[in-house]
A and B are shown apart, each in its own frame.
Chain A
Amino acid sequence: MKLVQIAGYLGSGKTTLIIALAKMMAGPGLKTAVIVNDAGEVPVDGRVMEEFGLTVKDIGGGCICCQVAGNMIRTLESLAKGPRPDLIFVEPTGMAVPKTIRENVLPGAEKNGIVMGPTIVLLDATRAEKLLTYDTLKRLVSTQLRDADIIALSKADRVTPETLEKTHYAAAQINPAAAVLELSTHSGKGLVELAGAVRERVVAA
């Protein structure tokens, strides 16, 4: 089972990206499941994904990076014992710290047959300037970007080339090791590259 985390601040397009990637990658040889940790009290994202035909495990009651980390482990164990999907997308809340989730999963990864895929962190290009400069948010968003293997500048079709260039530069400054790509689930820009990374890339523990 390959675990791919799709992280990023609230409203950055995580659910939409997972649906788009799952549709693009669907095929007879690939069983996909999604673990969704919704920030709201009544889950919505999981229901939306189910409407698009995805197998979804919904985790509520707090953030999987800290408050309900144990539920995440139990969910992975249950997937390992049961349907054993080839690919598991994890959608944490928009407040989660990706590295913490990864570190929670790693100790049981071998036992559960989990291979770590890339951590993809979305940065909403339409709000990047605010998110990277405003109050406590800048610490959270910077931390999320720092933890990324791939940074996807989402909603890239809705900003000017100048804004996109500035956002690209800012993201690369925070995490020079990450690949940074422009993403628009609306136009399809960046989806093929991300699907390729999800399929092929394995990240060392």
Chain B
Amino acid sequence: MIPKWMCALGISFISYMSILFVIIVVVTFQARDFDLRRTLVITAAYMAFMVVYFAVLFIVFKRKIDAPK
């Protein structure tokens, strides 16, 4: 059984991914061209930040919420 706080983080991760989609759409519309390389760079930078951010969230919540009180 997955704890509720982990489900919450999972949903948040999906929400943050939708922001990435919006960023790519905006950049593509502004440039009026789909550039795969630019999109990959944006995705890689965004995902790298997200992985670090969610790792920090996971570690803190695991220690604080899951710890035996």
A binds B: no
